Structure 1
Amino acid sequence: MPDPAQQVRDWLATYDTPTASVAELLCDRHPRDRVALTDVGADLAARDVTYGELADRSAALAAGMAAEGVRAGDDVATMVARGADLAVAALATWRLGAVHVPLLTTFAPSAIAHRLTPGTRLVVADDDQRAKLDPGPDLPEGSVSRVVTTGEAPLREGDRTLAGLAAAGAGAPVTAAAVGGGSPFVLMHTVGSAGPAKGVPVPVRALAAFHAYHRFGLDVTGDDVYWNTSDPSGAYGLYHGLISPLLAGHRTLHLDAGFDPELVLDVLAIHGVTNLAAAPTVYRSLRAILKTLPPEIAVRRLSSAGEPLGADVLEWARDVFGVPVRDHYGQTELGMCVGRPNDPAAAAEGAEGAEPGPDSLGTALPGWRAGVLEAVADEEAPPGAFGRIGVDTEHSPLMWFTGYRDAPAATSARFTPDGRWYLTGDAGTRDRAGNLYFASRDDDAILSAGYRIGPFDVESALLEHPAVEEAAVYGLPDEVHGQLVAATVVLGEGAVGDDDLAEDLREIVRTRFASHAYPRHITFAEELPRSPSGKIRRSRLGARRV
């Protein structure tokens, strides 16, 4: 294999071209009889799906979608659990040159409505998600042009099913669209504390960044049984649980079941997983139940992303699994760009001769250059100085983010005025060897059980309750989840803050925003702490509970 720098150039030459076709790159170019993914049910029953099956099913579905009016550039949203149906729906979307918009199945109608646009021609949903798309206060009549469900029969008049739509298109093959490296093929959404989620268009050339992390960060090989436990409707699960394995032609597992550490161990053992990528919550949960490793589990690579793992978990994993967990750092807008690579060649290139401390994020991965800027000047800070973590766009050939959809002000805030540096919004330090150390996050986003939760969305839901005058949402440290969502609420006159009201507030968040984001801890206060400018000081609220 070429050295990492040359390999990055080769991938860019393949993926950032006018003739780039996502469906061809992720599916059609691979041998038809090669296994693409293995669907695993909650009962651990498994079914292999080949690239040939994905090609045939997605081609027929694409023809059916085209008959429903889906064209290149349109948005196609999915609310589908991980597995073959999601892969087929995404590939069909890409065959048409359309844009895949993944929606978490935990979302309520208000969160769904914010992520749909007038260009959303079709929504593919599991049967148990269909009711969220019915007309109502958040989704007025006509908000969704067409709904396609994954079950055997339509659930509403006018709906179609995946199988029915594919059958209708089986006789009209669709040529995989060549959209070029600069065209978006995915629209992700990212959250913060200052407002609702912002759209992140992912261009086709980002495939080079995803492939580079798959190879150098995760070190997935053709002999691996690879499993990324993250939800493929979120960035890490989509980029590296669905897209990058298909791109590289590697088999991956898709477990359609709720999280359970015992089930994770069963999957590792029964399916012989050798390369595991998971959120820190998974490792913390395994540590709580696992003291010695069953002999049938033989994982050679462990990776984690989303937030730094503590030294205690890292030490436990090395003792139990016999291999280290490699921490990786990135964002929805970047993919993974910093970390401790599993691939020895990448480690040799990026390490600059010094072993980082256990609390380090690691160094920039191949194709990236990261650094720390001064707190008040757009210049690199000296080693050891606290500042803003950024990505050097001029020396990062894999950089692909150019801006949020319809949010120019938010885009400008992400870059220095000269465009040289992308600002992650995180703060930290850098040592002389190039190792980065995370210190704090600027946007107050809460990282809980692998989800990135914006306080704004939860606060907006809480304020819909008639008893609530003000609300502040923040994260509290938790040994398993990383952080738990917490809220401090100021009530209106005459309202009583008791356990019943607290449960009502949790329920309104579940039903008005998302079931994964409800506040586990709720306190009531007469007022919220604020800065002289009136901004809520969430850090003070969190400190009161520690």
Structure 2
Amino acid sequence: MPAPAQQIHDWLATYDTPDTCVAHLLCDRHPADTVAITEIGPDLGSRDLTYGELARRSTELADGMARLGVTRGDHVATLMGRGADLAVTALALWRLGAVHVPLFTALAPSAVALRLTDPTVAVVVCDDDQRFKLDPGPDMPAEAPWHVVTTTTAPLRDGDHTLTGLADPSAPPVPPAAVGGAAPFILLYTSGTGGSPRGVEVPVRALAAFHAYHHYGLDVTDDDVYWNTADPGWAYGLYYGLVAPLLAGHRTLQLRAGFDPELTLDVLATFGVTNMAAAPTVYRTLRATVKTLPPEIALRCLSSAGEPLTPDVVDWAFDTFGVALREHYGQSELGMCAGQHHHPDVATDLRAASIGRSLPGWDMTVLDPVTDEEAPTGSFGRVAVDVANSPAMWFTGYHAMTTEATAPFTPDGRWYLTGDTGSQDEDGYLFFSARDNDVILMSGYRIGPADVESALLQHPAVEETVVYGVPDELRGQTVAASVVLGADAHPTDELAEELKELVRNRFAAHAYPRYVTFVTELPRTPSGKIRRSRLHFPVR
């Protein structure tokens, strides 16, 4: 294996060419009899999908998608859980040169509709239990401009198609499209602090960055049984639970079940997982609920991403599993770009409270919060990416059709501002302090307060509201809301529950405020801005 800098150069030389083809890189070039996906059910029943079967099924589905009119550059959304069907669908789209738009299955219909407003969306593929979110209603048009494809056949609405119905084994195979390294192959929506969800276009050349984390950050080897527990509707689960292992020709586990600590241990033991990546919430919940471990568990690598780890969780993981739990840092616009790397060529010391160092291909630093010059060693400032010295950098700006958000670059384009604050020591180790915006990090998910506030303001009793994060022992943070009611409304427990349910139905089931406080006014600065530092849910 070349030195890390040369390896990044070699990956870019392969993934960023005019004739780059995603389907070839993620599937067709790998041995046909190697297992690509192991889908696991809640009863621990499993089925394997080899790269050969993935190639065959995705080729057949690509033909069916082409007959629906999907072509190069079209956007196709998925409302699907983990598993073989999602992998087959994504590969079929990439064979056509189409753009995959993953949607989190916990999103409410209104939130789904907001992410389907791009006029080039051609098809929505969904699991059967997600189909109702596309039905005509206040948010969805009576005559939607997209085709609907479901993963099962019952109940089948008029005009719907199914994955198996579209696939035609007798049709001539569709030649895989060569789209080049600059073409987008994913459009992922991420939450911000205000306005509409932000669309992040992921170009094919980003595969070099994804491969760097899979190899150097996680140290996934050919002999590993690798499991990323994150949902593929979000960046960490999609980039590193599906795309990166397929790119490397590795096997990835896909659990078709909600999180359960005992089931998690059963998967680790039954399938011999050696390399696991998960959000801190998974480890915190395991610590809180698990008393004994199955003796068959033999982990080699443990990784965490999505929010900062606390020392007690790190200590518990080492005492319980006998291996160090290493923290990694990134965001949807970058993928993972720093961390406590596992690979021996770049392995970092586990310095207390540090999130590690820059990943190969990235140059992370801290800027003075006022001048945007590099801050002195140990000084507090804004965590940033040195764009010119980060060959793995791929993000250039948000999707223009879906957002008015300004890309977080300094005016000269030299620095990408992550929105996080911290410091850096003399050896390049980063120390995370806090976000300098208001995004709530809960169970590894990024929740934009504006999305929740917009849902709450739809209630006729709500005059004003502000949403913020409060500490939570298991989730890291959880959502809280301070609400100012109109003159004719009265605060009650029933109204608080009604507001929680409204957010579940109008935005997302996972993002409802666990705490609702009724207040007469919101704390403001003399200029009228909300003082979020004074928003604390009262402890009772």
Contact 2:194 2:451 in 1 (8 A): no
Q: TM-score, normalised by structure 1?
A: 0.96
- Which stretch of structure 1 is more off in the superposition, 488-497 or 84-93? 488-497
Distance 2:404 2:108 in 1: 27
- Which stretch of structure 1 is more off in the superposition, 141-150 or 89-98? 141-150
Alignment correspondent of 1:346 = 346
Alignment correspondent of 1:101 = 101
**Is 1:410 the counterpart of 2:411 in the alignment?**
no
Q: Which residue type is aligned with residue 483 of structure 1?
A: Q
Within the candidate set 436, 461, 464, 2:458 is matched to 464
Contact 1:61 1:170 in 2 (8 A): no
Secondary structure of the structure 1 residue equivalent to 2:511: coil
Distance 1:528 1:267 in 2: 47
Q: Which residue type is aligned with residue 323 of structure 1?
A: V
Within the candidate set 473, 488, 492, 1:494 is matched to 488
The Cα offsets for residues 507-543 of structure 1, whole Å up to 9 and x where unpaired, read as 1101111111111111100011122232222221137
Distance 2:112 2:178 in 1: 29
**Is 1:256 the counterpart of 2:283 in the alignment?**
no
The Cα offsets for residues 386-440 of structure 1, whole Å up to 9 and x where unpaired, read as 110000011100000000011786334x111111110001111111111111111
Secondary structure of the structure 2 residue equivalent to 1:304: strand
Shift of 1:178: 0.3
Secondary structure of the structure 2 residue equivalent to 1:359: coil
Alignment correspondent of 1:197 = 197
**Is 1:206 the counterpart of 2:200 in the alignment?**
no
The structure 1 segments of at least 4 consecutive aligned residues displaced by more than 4 Å after TM superposition are: 543-546
- Which stretch of structure 1 is more off in the superposition, 534-543 or 457-466? 534-543
**Is 1:152 the counterpart of 2:138 in the alignment?**
no
Distance 2:163 2:539 in 1: 48
| Aligned ranges 1:165-314 → 2 under 5 Å | 165-167=166-168, 170-314=170-314
| Aligned ranges 1:335-484 → 2 under 5 Å | 335-347=335-347, 351=348, 355=349, 357-406=351-400, 410-412=405-407, 414-484=408-478
Distance 1:74 1:533 in 2: 45
Distance 2:350 2:173 in 1: 53
In structure 2, stretches of 5+ residues that fail to align are none
Contact 2:354 2:432 in 1 (8 A): yes
Shift of 1:356: 5.3
* Alpha carbons of structure 1 residues 202 and 223: separation in structure 2 relative to 1, 3 Å: same
Shift of 1:156: 1.0
Secondary structure of the structure 2 residue equivalent to 1:209: helix
Q: Which residue type is aligned with residue 124 of structure 1?
A: V
Identity across matched positions, percent: 66
Contact 2:197 2:403 in 1 (8 A): no
Shift of 1:442: 1.7
Alignment correspondent of 1:52 = 52
Contact 2:261 2:290 in 1 (8 A): no
Contact 1:133 1:144 in 2 (8 A): no
The Cα offsets for residues 435-456 of structure 1, whole Å up to 9 and x where unpaired, read as 1111111221111112111100
Contact 1:127 1:155 in 2 (8 A): no
Distance 1:497 1:20 in 2: 59
The Cα offsets for residues 437-492 of structure 1, whole Å up to 9 and x where unpaired, read as 11111221111112111100101000111111111111110111111111111111
Alignment correspondent of 1:73 = 73
Q: Which residue type is aligned with residue 385 of structure 2?
A: V
Q: What CA RMSD, in Å, does the superposition of the two structures yield over aligned residues?
A: 1.4
The Cα offsets for residues 275-314 of structure 1, whole Å up to 9 and x where unpaired, read as 0000000000111123553321000000000011001110
| Aligned ranges 1:119-138 → 2 under 5 Å | 119-138=120-139
- Which stretch of structure 1 is more off in the superposition, 525-534 or 273-282? 525-534
* Alpha carbons of structure 1 residues 514 and 144: separation in structure 2 relative to 1, 3 Å: farther
Q: Which residue type is aligned with residue 345 of structure 1?
A: D
Q: Which residue type is aligned with residue 442 of structure 2?
A: S
Contact 1:390 1:421 in 2 (8 A): yes
Secondary structure of the structure 1 residue equivalent to 2:406: helix
Secondary structure of the structure 2 residue equivalent to 1:345: coil
Count matched residues.
Answer: 538
The Cα offsets for residues 135-154 of structure 1, whole Å up to 9 and x where unpaired, read as 22112233341000000246
In structure 1, stretches of 5+ residues that fail to align are none
Alignment correspondent of 2:38 = 38
The Cα offsets for residues 261-288 of structure 1, whole Å up to 9 and x where unpaired, read as 1110010011110000000000001111
